[in-house]
Chains A and B, each alone.
Chain A
């Protein structure tokens, strides 16, 4: 699986958009980009995934560059409850072998 690189931490003001970057320059053609988050000590929660097209769901948007070497997770209106560690993972579609890195600790501030 491709290795991903994320900034260790980011801050965001409540109500503003949170843009979390991820670098996956060695991603292969059949690997998807998945995003999960872990709030405090809870189990990780799936957010969104994509292959090469931009994706949007009720939680977030995923923007993948045309060369697929990087992506950005966008939380359009961050709330305090979005404070969590966000993990970007490159893995095959059946995601049986998810490799979690250190992630980005997002802190949403009032």
Chain B
């Protein structure tokens, strides 16, 4: 069974469009994250959600908005896409406060904006 899944795996779209990337985890974790990995391969955290509350909000444009309908899902909505948004986006999850230290990552969504 897939622990952290993302859809779609690839997303090609034009500038100005609005798109969403979905993430689901079946591990019973209480915290989920979105990371962005750009062409230079630097992996940067964008958001973190714990029990449906945003606890990290890095300096990302407000065109990006995480939405968590429940603890198992954290979707990423992106409005007015720009060329610079092209990257691989990774979702991750973890269980906090119980001594477990691992973040489990999804397979990534490669977003290409043309």
Q: Which residues of A contact B (CB under 8 A)?
A: 32, 34, 36, 38, 41-46, 49, 85, 87, 93-100, 102
Chain B contact residues, majority secondary structure? strand
* B44 touching A97, Cβ below 8 Å: no
Chain A contact residues, majority secondary structure? loop
What distance in Å separates the Cβ of B2 from its nearest Cβ neighbour in chain A? Answer: 11
* A102 touching B42, Cβ below 8 Å: yes
* A94 touching B42, Cβ below 8 Å: no
Question: Of A97, A99, A102, which contacts B48 at CB under 8 A?
Answer: A97
* Alpha-carbon distance between A94 and B95 when the two chains are bound, in angstroms: 8
* B43 touching A95, Cβ below 8 Å: no
* B104 touching A46, Cβ below 8 Å: yes
Question: Of B44, B48, B90, B94, which contacts A44 at CB under 8 A?
Answer: B90
Q: A41-B88, A44-B43, A44-B90 are in contact. Are A98 and B103 (CB under 8 A)?
A: yes
- Segment with Cβ contacts to A, from B13-21, B66-74, B105-113: B105-113
Question: Of A34, A41, A85, A98, which contacts B108 at CB under 8 A?
Answer: A41
Given contacts A46-B101, A95-B96, A96-B48, 4 further A-B contacts (CB under 8 A): A43-B92, A43-B108, A46-B104, A100-B44
What distance in Å separates the Cβ of B58 from its nearest Cβ neighbour in chain A? Answer: 9
